[in-house]
Amino acid sequence: MTVSAKGQQLRADIIKQLYYRKTLSLTEISKRTKKSLPLITATVNMLIKEQYIIEQGLAPSTGGRRAQTFLLNPKKEKYVVAVAMDQLTTRMVVYNLAQEVVMPVKNLDLDIQDQDAVAKLSQFINQQIRATGITKNQILGVGIGMPGFVNITEGINYSCLKPADGTNLRQYMALALDLPVHIDNDSSLIALAELNFGVARDQKDVLVVNIGWGTGLGMVVNGSLYRGSSGYAGEFSHIPLSKTSNLCSCGKVGCLEVDTSLLVMVANAEKALAEGSVSIMSELFKDEQKHKADHFLDAVVKRDPLAVAILSDAAFQIGKGLATLIHIMNPESIVLSGRGAKAGKMLLPAIEQAINEFCIPRIAEKTTIVLSKLIDDAELMASASLVIEHSFFN
């Protein structure tokens, strides 16, 4: 069944469109891929024969003949491994083509700075895959999201996760897992998730803020993720904005990060508690099963006054940074996502106040601030789509 390179491309494009939109009619696929209907019809029929695609039934009436709709076959035994790493915890999921969870989230406590982190990671992934009973040739690939300066084409993370043997990270993992591996920066992935599956869907110019250990940023420009000339665009957390003279982990002073990182918020909370402030956090922090940052976020959700006050201070600083971004990028919307977005509506007032204070009204009024609905799922969903984007399906 030899198909031309161009035909291969179209097959993959159709599968990608269905992966992102779930169900589509032939006309919709034609519009999205910018290919003619006869060509789409023929290619979809071929994919149905191969069981990649199944018929879903008729679309709701729009006045005329109802369209047949199609979706990816959840029973096609092709799977995607999605991994999302942060500084201390790594999560892993296996999805099918219909984006259904085939193996629920598994956690691994893994310090990303650990010398053996790469070895432990590959071991963990292999072990979990084996436990599912899925064979390697049924797996399209492994997508891994991680903090740090990631070169996605070379497959290198310049900040951490360097294999002991000096090879590049992706090659090492691909060899260890015997699977195609794709890596990307966590904030970039979260932005992709919001763009393809979240509240930023179908928008053209969006900024996605990843509130977490640091404050990451993914920029959607003209409908696609902007990475900059050498892949380092969106280094939001190290712009010079802080009034404090605290030293940042990057070696400079005045970085936004020193006021807005979740770790700083936790540190501020502990300091206040030590100075005698009353808060439910003093109880919560005793449970060492969960990270203090999560306890802090829980306290915020429960409207604990101290936690809310500390969060508001950080949010105001984030808002000040966003004011600069709004002037530069003039986005349609800004999405608050990442672990810190669990604080939800508690974040908004301080951010909006800062934007009103530091933005030219004419510009600010064009941008809406919205909360992510994906939160924890964002990075995993995007890790999976990373694999779909790079697969050929043949």
Partner DNA sequence: TAAATCTTTATAATTTTTTTAAAAAGATTT
Partner DNA sequence: AAATCTTTTTAAAAAAATTATAAAGATTTA
Helices (H), 275-394: 281-284, 292-301, 305-329, 348-358, 361-364, 376-390
Size of the site for a copy of itself (CB under 8 A): 41
Residue 65 binding target from DNA, a copy of itself, none, CB below 5 to 8 Å by type: DNA
Q: Which of residues 324-343 bind a copy of itself (CB under 8 A)?
A: 324-325, 327-332
Of the pair 155, 331, the CB lying nearest a copy of itself is at: 331
Binding flag, residue 176, a copy of itself (CB under 8 A): no
Q: Which of residues 227-246 bind DNA (CB under 7 A)?
A: none
Binding mask 6-35 for DNA (x = CB under 7 A): xx--x--------------xxx------xx
Residue 227 binding target from DNA, a copy of itself, none, CB below 5 to 8 Å by type: a copy of itself
Binding mask 251-290 for a copy of itself (x = CB under 8 A): -x-x------------------------------------
Q: Which of 25, 87, 123, 158 binds a copy of itself (CB under 8 A)?
A: 158
Give the helix, strand, coil percentages of the chain, each rounded to 5.
45, 20, 35
From residue 334, alpha-carbon distances to 205, 209, 250, 265, 319 in Å are 9, 7, 26, 22, 11
* 59: CB partners within 8 A, 6+ apart: 23, 25, 66, 67, 68, 69
Q: Which of residues 193-252 bind a copy of itself (CB under 8 A)?
A: 204-205, 217, 219, 221-222, 226-236, 238-240, 250, 252
Q: Which of residues 316-335 bind DNA (CB under 7 A)?
A: none
Residue 36 binding target from a copy of itself, DNA, none, CB below 5 to 8 Å by type: DNA
Of the pair 2, 222, the CB lying nearest DNA is at: 2
Q: How far is the CB of 332 from a copy of itself (least distance, A)?
A: 4
Binding flag, residue 166, DNA (CB under 7 A): no
Q: Provide the strand spans (E) within 135-292.
A: 139-146, 150-151, 156-157, 181-185, 206-211, 215-221, 224-226
Residue 62 binding target from a copy of itself, DNA, none, CB below 5 to 8 Å by type: DNA
Binding flag, residue 370, a copy of itself (CB under 8 A): no
d(CA 26, CA 14): 10
CA 322: distance to chain centroid? 19
Q: How far is the CB of 205 from a copy of itself (least distance, A)?
A: 4
Task: Write phi, then psi, for 192 (nearest 5 degrees).
Answer: -60, -40
Closest residue by Cα to residue 150 from 178, 116, 173? 173
- Output DSSP code: residue 91: E
* 24: CB partners within 8 A, 6+ apart: 17, 18, 32, 69, 70, 71
Count, residues in the chain: 394
Residue 362 binding target from a copy of itself, DNA, none, CB below 5 to 8 Å by type: a copy of itself
- Output DSSP code: residue 200: T
Of the pair 4, 222, the CB lying nearest DNA is at: 4
Q: How many CB atoms lie within 10 A of CB 348?
A: 16
Q: Which of 20, 124, 358, 393 binds a copy of itself (CB under 8 A)?
A: 358
For binding to DNA (CB under 7 A), which residues are involved? 4, 6-7, 10, 25-27, 34-39, 41, 58, 61-68
